[in-house]
């Protein structure tokens, strides 16, 4: 043991959840120490990494983020490299190749910034449709935290309730919606002609003004894999604020064990540094917020005499109910230009297709047009044809303008057999790699067959699509949820309504892992809302202890 560190609140993970809690705890006068497995780098370094990638690799979200040996994450260069860290099995194994980076700032470095809320119905699947689970609380309880999350991240969205999702809000968005480019406008108009409403997305991107010391979005069209100017919220933009408030952030500190003590409270966490030296950190409250895969992995790694299934796992639910939104991607060619690549890489979605009484039978789904510039795709495709001169230029312009990618993301039910366990394979530090069994289930498959794909086909006809390639396999959406599922009953859930572990009074597991259901939209805003609710509980718990 090289050194001993201590703080009121120990936070494992420096993503959006950990950073949100850190700021609120510091604001309440608590001391905070954050432990991050990966390195801490500057934004421009990631931008340079991206710009210096060969064109074919620019589509690999992870390529600008080379992992450190001690903090591996998915690397998608080849099937072999992708199979190196995440061990996947089951009928839809490849659909759980989840993208997240183990860097200070976490996976919001490369998120698209979309901030959909769950709807009231999304939180009552069991009561309304007899499937999945109900949340412990309803939308009314979550709504104030959603609002605080939107003001924390800086979310722009439409002031017109007819364009809001859901239009049940206590305050306006902090910023007005961003404008559409030509592709989104055309997609919206075509959707309307077939009875679908494409909404301007609520998004954590500054719209027209600066917000939280970040500049307005200038349409750099690179939110994914990195916003070059920090107009999009990512947790890395809060790291210096946390330090300015007195918090400590320790990078390259891989927590590998959560230690329990008397009354089964958490005593300490242990981490390895890059020299494989172990360190012990003590505190009063512990927050494990290191991603929906790494958090359950760490809990399972921490089994001890009192907790033979792993920490927080008397229910045997840690690592179960792994969720995402199984995605179907479609590549299309159109007779007329769509023109993507104007504004952010994503800025709108069809959401009302996620709701309906059909949810007793099959999943709802969200449908979206990807707005990333297609000049690279068109350029490489035209070059492969061996064209030269004006014919080459015309073909690049046509293939960039008149092609597109449409995406369907399905709601997945929490199912116990979709499970993360510890692989017998070890990483560089000798820690077990995560192993995940994944089956999207018939609920999702029925949706794709009888509902979501037919809807998209109707829309494609309206858009004048002349050729299409609809994926036959589901893919990942990188929205990792469910592995520390929230519930009232400690016998079938891991955390309570404040993301506090049922088994350990001073252990909080907020984030995607705690989500009871995931809906069809991006999970981040719900994760941050849960983080704020957990932070209130942490501050209240330590305040109560001080008063006692």
Partner 1 sequence: MPERSVDHPFRDDCPSEYRLFRRRLILGTGAATALAALPGAVVAVVDGAGGSEAGKFMELSALLIDHRLDRDIGARLAAAMSHANAGIEQDIDALLDIAKKKNARIVEDFFPDVPEGRLRDTALAIISAWYSGVVSETQGSEVFAFELALMYQPTRDVMTIPSYAISGPNGWNPSAPPLSDMPEF
Closer residue to partner 1 in complex, CB, 6/45: 45
Within 393-432, which residues bind partner 1 (CB under 8 A)?
393-394, 396-398, 400-402
Question: Is residue 56 close enough to count as binding partner 1 by CB under 8 A?
Answer: yes
Q: Pattern of binders to partner 1 over 360-399, x per CB under 8 A?
A: ------------xxxxx-xxx-xx--x-xxx-xxx-xxx-
- Asked if 528 and 141 touch (Cβ cutoff 8 Å), the reply is no
Within 509-528, which residues bind partner 1 (CB under 8 A)?
none
Q: Which of 362, 410, 479, 502 is catalytic?
A: 479
Which residue's entry shows tokens 């109900």? 134
Which residue's entry shows tokens 């330090």? 243
Strands (E), 224-355: 248-250, 254-260, 266-272, 278-288, 327-334, 348-350
| Least distance (Å) between residue 210 CB and partner 1 | 9
| Least distance (Å) between residue 387 CB and partner 1 | 9
| Least distance (Å) between residue 483 CB and partner 1 | 29
Q: Which residue in 29, 66, 360, 454 binds partner 1 (CB under 8 A)? A: 66
| Least distance (Å) between residue 48 CB and partner 1 | 6
Closer residue to partner 1 in complex, CB, 219/490: 219
Question: Is residue 50 close enough to count as binding partner 1 by CB under 8 A?
Answer: yes
| Least distance (Å) between residue 499 CB and partner 1 | 30
Closer residue to partner 1 in complex, CB, 184/294: 184
> End-to-end CA distance of the chain, in Å?
33
Beta carbons within 10 angstroms of residue 117's beta carbon: 26
| Least distance (Å) between residue 187 CB and partner 1 | 10
Q: Which residue in 111, 180, 271, 438 binds partner 1 (CB under 8 A)? A: 180
Within 73-132, which residues bind partner 1 (CB under 8 A)?
77
| Least distance (Å) between residue 239 CB and partner 1 | 9
Within 218-277, which residues bind partner 1 (CB under 8 A)?
218-222, 226, 228-229, 251-252
Question: Is residue 185 close enough to count as binding partner 1 by CB under 8 A?
Answer: yes
Which residue's entry shows tokens 């710009």? 51
Task: Show Cβ contacts of residue 508 under 8 Å, excluding neighbours closer than 6 positions.
Answer: 21, 285, 286, 287, 288, 289, 495, 498, 499, 500, 501, 534, 537, 538
**Helical (H) or strand (E) element with 410:** strand 403-410
**Helical (H) or strand (E) element with 156:** strand 156-157
What Rg, from alpha-carbon coordinates, does the chain have?
23
Helix axes 16-27, 524-547, angle to 10 degrees: 30
Task: Show Cβ contacts of residue 204 under 8 Å, excluding neighbours closer than 6 positions.
Answer: 113, 114, 115, 153, 154, 155, 156, 232, 233, 524, 525
Q: Which residue in 57, 82, 131, 163 binds partner 1 (CB under 8 A)? A: 57
Q: Residue 324's closest CA among 433, 231, 441? A: 441
Give the span between the Cα atoms of 370 and 329, in whole angstroms: 10
Decide if 479 is catalytic: yes
Closer residue to partner 1 in complex, CB, 55/195: 55
Q: Pattern of binders to partner 1 over 329-348, x per CB under 8 A?
A: --------x-xxxxx-----
Size of the site for partner 1 (CB under 8 A): 78
Show which residues are catalytic. Answer: 479
């Amino acid at each position: 043991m090289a050194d001993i560190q201590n703080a009121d609140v120990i936070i494992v993970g420096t993503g959006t959840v950990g950073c949100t809690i850190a700021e609120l705890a510091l604001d309440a006068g608590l001391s905070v120490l954050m432990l991050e497995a990966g390195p801490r780098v500057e934004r421009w370094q990631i931008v340079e990494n991206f710009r210096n990638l060969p064109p074919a690799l620019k589509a690999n979200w992870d390529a600008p983020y080379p992992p450190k040996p001690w903090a591996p994450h998915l690397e998608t260069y080849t099937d072999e490299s992708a199979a190196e860290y995440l061990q996947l099995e089951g009928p839809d194994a490849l659909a759980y190749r989840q993208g997240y980076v183990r860097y200070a700032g976490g996976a919001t470095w490369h998120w698209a910034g979309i901030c959909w809320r769950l709807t009231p119905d999304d939180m009552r699947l069991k009561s309304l449709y007899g499937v999945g689970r109900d949340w412990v609380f309803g939308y009314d309880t979550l709504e104030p935290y959603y609002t605080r999350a939107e003001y924390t991240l800086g979310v722009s969205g439409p002031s017109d309730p007819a364009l809001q999702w859901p239009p049940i809000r206590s305050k306006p968005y902090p910023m007005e919606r961003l404008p559409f480019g030509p592709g989104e406008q055309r997609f919206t108009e075509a959707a309307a002609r077939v009875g679908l409403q494409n909404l301007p997305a609520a998004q954590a991107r500054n719209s027209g003004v600066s917000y939280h010391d970040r500049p307005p979005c200038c349409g750099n069209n690179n939110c994914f894999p990195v916003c070059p100017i920090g107009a999009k919220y990512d947790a890395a933009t809060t790291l210096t604020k946390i330090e300015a408030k007195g918090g400590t952030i320790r990078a390259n500190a891989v927590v590998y064990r959560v230690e329990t003590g008397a009354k089964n409270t958490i005593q300490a966490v242990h981490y390895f540094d890059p020299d494989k030296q172990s360190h012990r950190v003590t505190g009063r409250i512990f927050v494990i917020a290191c991603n929906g895969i790494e958090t359950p992995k760490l809990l399972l790694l921490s089994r001890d005499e009192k907790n033979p299934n792993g920490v927080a796992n008397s229910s045997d639910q840690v690592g179960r109910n792994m969720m995402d939104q199984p995605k179907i991607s479609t590549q299309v060619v159109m007779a007329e230009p769509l023109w993507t690549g104007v504004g952010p890489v994503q800025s709108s979605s069809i959401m009302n297709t996620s709701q309906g009484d059909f949810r007793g039978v099959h999943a709802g789904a969200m449908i979206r047009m990807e707005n990333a510039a297609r000049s690279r795709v068109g350029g490489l495709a035209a070059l492969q044809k061996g064209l030269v001169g004006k014919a080459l230029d015309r073909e690049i312009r046509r293939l960039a303008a008149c092609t597109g990618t449409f995406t369907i993301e399905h709601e997945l039910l929490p199912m116990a057999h979709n499970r993360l366990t510890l692989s017998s394979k070890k990483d560089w530090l000798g820690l077990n790699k995560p192993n995940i069994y994944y089956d999207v289930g018939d609920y999702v498959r029925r949706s794709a067959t009888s509902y979501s794909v037919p809807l998209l086909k109707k829309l494609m006809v309206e858009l004048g699509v002349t050729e299409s390639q609809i994926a036959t396999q589901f893919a990942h959406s990188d929205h990792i949820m469910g592995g520390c599922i929230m519930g009232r009953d400690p016998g079938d859930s891991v955390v309570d309504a404040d993301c506090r572990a049922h088994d350990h009074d001073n252990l909080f597991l907020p984030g995607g892992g705690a989500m009871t259901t995931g809906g069809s939209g991006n999970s981040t805003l719900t994760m941050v809302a849960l983080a704020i609710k957990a932070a209130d509980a942490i501050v209240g718990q330590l305040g109560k202890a001080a008063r006692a």
